Amino acid sequence: MKLLVIGASKGIGLETVRYALGRGHDIRAFAPSAQSIEIDDPKLEKRAGDARNAAEVKAAVEGVDAVIVALGLPKTLPAMMRKTTLFSDTTRVLLSAMTAAGVGRLLAVTGFGAGDSKAKMSTVEKLGFKAVLARAYADKTAQERLIRDSGLDWTIVRPGILTSTAPSHDYEVHVEPETWHNGLISRGDVAHFLVHAAEDGSYLRDAPVLTR
């Protein structure tokens, strides 16, 4: 497969690039700092770009089989607390580009606490969430609504608390709302899920929660 990974230079995006290359896929890695990716592989195309720029996203989408979105905010308290429209803005641009290019498969990482999964947070989790992440996750919820209404073959992926531990490839995928709960999961395991779901077309129009 040829995969476009948006947000490819760090975190889940970078782990997805690594794992997908190991599976033999052709990867177009899209990020403002794509050239900083310290991977040399003939199957890797590093493309610098802004996910809010319609022309750059349109060009990036051309010729791919699926798109994986793993955008994130800087890991600083001010960045996480301030209001943002990054997720909804970039999703609008991407959905338009994918529709125009005839690319139907989209996998997007949001997080536990986005959309209807927020109702499954504990009281303590909700307090911390409200203090720090409420604004960012309000936009992730808007992002989820756009994706659900897109008509594409989408999967929304909601990991729990992300860690940098080595992937185990042994994690839980919670599809039914009554099983949703928070928990730890490594970025590498999220990447593992994304690549396999892209390969086999599983979890279409589902929004599973991932925990270890």
Tens digits of per-residue pLDDT, 113-132? 999 999 998 888 888 777 77
Residues 6+ apart with CB under 8 A from 119: none
For the segment(s) 2-211, the CATH number from 3.30.450.20, 3.40.50.720, 2.40.128.20, 3.20.20.70 is 3.40.50.720
The pLDDT of residue 75: 75
The pLDDT of residue 126: 83
- Rounded to two decimals, the pTM is 0.95
Residues 138, 73: Cα–Cα separation, whole Å: 14
Q: Is-contact 66 3, C-beta < 8 A?
A: yes
Sign of the alpha-carbon torsion through 96, 99, 100, 104:
positive
| 203-207 contacts at long range (C-beta below 8 A, 24 or more positions apart) | 203/155, 203/173, 203/175, 204/153, 204/154, 204/155, 205/148, 205/153, 205/154, 205/155, 206/155, 206/156, 206/175, 207/110, 207/115, 207/116, 207/117, 207/144, 207/155, 207/156, 207/157, 207/158
Residues 27, 18: Cα–Cα separation, whole Å: 9
Q: Hey, where are the domains in the chain? A: 2-211
Residues 6+ apart with CB under 8 A from 38: none
Mean pLDDT, all residues of the chain: 95
Checking if the pLDDT of 166 tops 90, the result is yes
Read off the pLDDT of residues 49-100 as tens digits, 9 standing for 90 and up.
999 999 999 999 999 999 999 999 877 767 677 889 999 999 999 999 999 9
What is the pLDDT averaged over residues 148-174?
A: 97
